Amino acid sequence: MPYQPSADRYNKMRYRRCGKSGIKLPEISLGLWHNFGHVDVMENFRKILHLAFDSGITHFDLANNYGPPPGSAETNFGKILKEDFTGYRDEMIISTKAGYHMWEGPYGEWGSKKYLVSSLDQSLNRMGLDYVDIFYHHRPDPDTPLEETMSALDLIVRQGKALYAGISNYNAEEADKAIAILKKLGTPCLIHQPKYSMFVRDPEEGLLDVLGRDGVGCIPFSPLAQGLLTNKYLHGIPEDSRAAKSTGFLQTDQVTPEAIEKVKKLNVLAEQRGQTLAQMAIAWLLKDERVTSVLIGASKPAQLADSLKALDNTGFSSDELNKIEDILK
């Protein structure tokens, strides 16, 4: 039986306007950073994509280097798009990025016009697409003039290879400059993708203010702090976790007794709210109206289903917010 999306998928999701643009994004978006590479099981991630779309998730976020190996997440996503989602492209927001190392030689990473244009051409080829909806510069480049990097995004939008431009991992000052350059070029910055969670609060140091002022959307990644903000680490480091493997971005030295203590206290509060810790961590980010969508990952359909339940309770009393701040201090 070919895949048939759920007929009531749009009744299951709330959508927020992305900054001052015409685009709305689902409150939860699906990132393909992990679990969609050639090392993973296609039938599993096919089911994850089906569940996401059936649940009203319209936004799928990739990057040139997602896998492993790098590029394979885009290749696999493109295959499933062609096999299962033909006829639904216009209901999807598909994004990709370039900035990290992707191929050998001096043009295979960072922020030159050469790299960004070449990388997007490769990404479109892997996914079998004519265009992506959002193309991001994945990280600031200290050695390339910001004007060159932003003019590359402007060029790509004018070529029709992307509909919107975005930036990721830029701090407040860098984002402020990038947004101003793009505005001057006539291709406004649609969205910024920062690392943001209860444990990583950097965007609160001016970045959210910049985005709110300039009408740029915000889509935090790593909302669960690489799994630390889940019930997985309540009793130390499990053998099958990212921290145990030390292959991801969560290292064993980050899972300190102090961090575990905070996680345990947050977990109690989440239970009082009728949520898992992961659900509360996602809901906590959505309390800020400047946050357009929260970008989550999933290793299996059940994990995605669990994360989606965060939307059942996104309101926080001032008492709850104060308790959270006390714990995090």
CA separation for the pair 292, 29 (Å, rounded) = 10
Class of 9-328 in CATH: alpha beta
**pTM of the model as a whole:** 0.95
What would the pLDDT profile of 162-181 be if each residue is shown by its tens digit? 999 999 999 999 999 999 99
| Residue owning tokens 């990709």 | 96
Cα–Cα distance between 261 and 104 in angstroms, integer? Answer: 43
> Could you write out the DSSP letters of every residue in 249-275?
S--GGGS-HHHHHHHHHHHHHHHHTTS
The confidence band for 160, taking pLDDT boundaries of 50, 70 and 90, is very high
Q: Is residue 204 left, alpha or beta, with left meaning phi > 0 and alpha meaning psi from -120 to 50?
A: alpha
pLDDT in tens, 51-76: 999 999 999 999 999 999 999 999 99
The residue among 193, 127, 128, 186 whose CA lies nearest residue 157 is 186
pLDDT band for position 252 (50/70/90)? low
Amino acid at 57: I
Which of 18-22, 128-132, 239-243, 257-261 is predicted least confidently?
A: 239-243
pLDDT above 70 (res 19): yes
Over the chain, what is the mean pLDDT?
95
